[in-house]
Structure 1
Amino acid sequence: MVSRPEPGEYNPYYAPYIDLIPQGDLVTILERQAEETKILLKGLSERQADFRYGKGKWSIKEVLGHITDTERIMAYRLLVIARGDMVDLPGFDENEYVRQGGFDKIPFSKLLDNFLAVRAATLSLVNMMDSSVWTREGVANGSKVSARALVSIIAGHELHHRKIIMQRYIGSGGFPQW
């Protein structure tokens, strides 16, 4: 069982994400999240997926693209640290990644398939790791982080944005109904 990290295993910036994760096995949580996100998003139309709840806010397509890009980056960091590579891993500009991602030009079904493929790859990586690597630490974006903290960040980040989608997009008065 992979459990949540201790506060000293990650930059405090990530605490709000990690605090969202329920207690339990992180692998099981990641598996369940993929299904929950699929159920939430699979029925959205292109028009709904293009919805923005405010000026300058990302569309649902862009939010999903951001979730997927972030998971890819965190999973790469996880791989590097789990393999004992002591290289300092760079940060990334999430807004620039969304700007360059072109997510609004991609059919929503492909974006959802992409998210599910990335999550499957993350789960494959996590399931192949020996229990001895979970507390192994490295440096990402100038801060110390453990392998299990990265898994927690992946889960918490996805949950954070799923809640935003439910509250500010789907739950808003301006959300297209068809």
Structure 2
Amino acid sequence: MLQRPNHEEYSPYFEGYISQVPEGDYQAFLQSQLDEIIGIYAQMTDEQALLRYAPGKWSLKELLGHITDTERVMSYRMLRIARGDTTNLPGFDQDVFIANAAFDDIAVADLLRDFQAVRQATFTLLTTIQEAAWPRLGVSNSTAMSARALAYIVAGHAQHHLNVIQARYI
């Protein structure tokens, strides 16, 4: 079972995400998130998924695209660090991603399929990481990070946005 990362394995910036992941079976938690996201988005029309809870906030489509993009980036970082790559991995600007993705023009069903594919890729990646590689440190955005911290960030980031969806959109 994947153990929670120690505070030395990530920047304090990520504590809010990591704290969103409950104790217990990490992969079961990822699966429950997948099921929840499918349950929320599968019943939405494209028009409903354009909802923004306030002016200037992301639409539900943009939020799903952001969750997917972030999981892609964090999983890639996890792969590189788990495999021993110590190259300083660059950061990314989520607002630039959103501005250039045109998620609102993509069918919600396609965005959901994309998220499902990325989450499935995360599941399969997890099976290829050996126990000794999880605490391995690398550098991401000029910050020391472990592979397991990145795994927890993937889950915690998605949970953060699920909480926002529940509180502000639904």
Please state which band the TM-score falls in when normalised by the shorter chain. Answer: over 0.9
Cα offset, 1:35, TM superposition? 1.3
Deviation at 1:8, TM superposition (A): 1.2
Residue 157 of structure 2: aligned partner: 157
CA contact (8 A) 1:88 1:141 kept: yes
Partner of 1:90: 90
Match of 2:36 in 1: 36
Are 1:3 and 1:25, in contact at CA under 8 Å, matched by a contact in 2? no
Which of 21-30 and 159-168 deviates more?
21-30
Letter in 1 for 2:8: G
- AA matched with 1:158: A
Please show how residues 6-17 of structure 1 align to structure 2 within 5 Å: 6-17=6-17
User: What's the TM-score once normalised by structure 2's chain length?
Assistant: 0.97
Corresponding residue of 2:118? 118
Q: Which amino acid aligns with 2:93?
A: D
Kept in 1, the 8 Å contact 2:49–2:61? The answer is yes
**Identity among equivalent pairs (%):** 47
| Deviation larger for 4-13 or 148-157 | 4-13
CA RMSD of aligned residues (A): 0.8
CA deviations on 1:85-110 (whole Å, 9 max, x unpaired) are 11000000000101111100000000
How many residues align? The count is 170
Distance 1:70 1:97 in 2: 10
1:74-128 CA deviation, whole Å, 9 max, x = no partner? 0000110011111000000000101111100000000011001000001100012
* TM-superposition CA deviations, 1:116-152 (whole Å, max 9, x none): 1000001100012111111011000111100000000
Map 1:12-161 onto structure 2 (within 5 A): 12-161=12-161
Correspondence list, 1:157-176, <5 A: 157-170=157-170
Structure 2: state its 5+ residue gaps. Answer: none
1:175 aligns with none
Segments of 4+ moved more than 6 angstroms: none
**Aligned residues of 2:9 and 2:137 also touching (Cα < 8 A):** yes
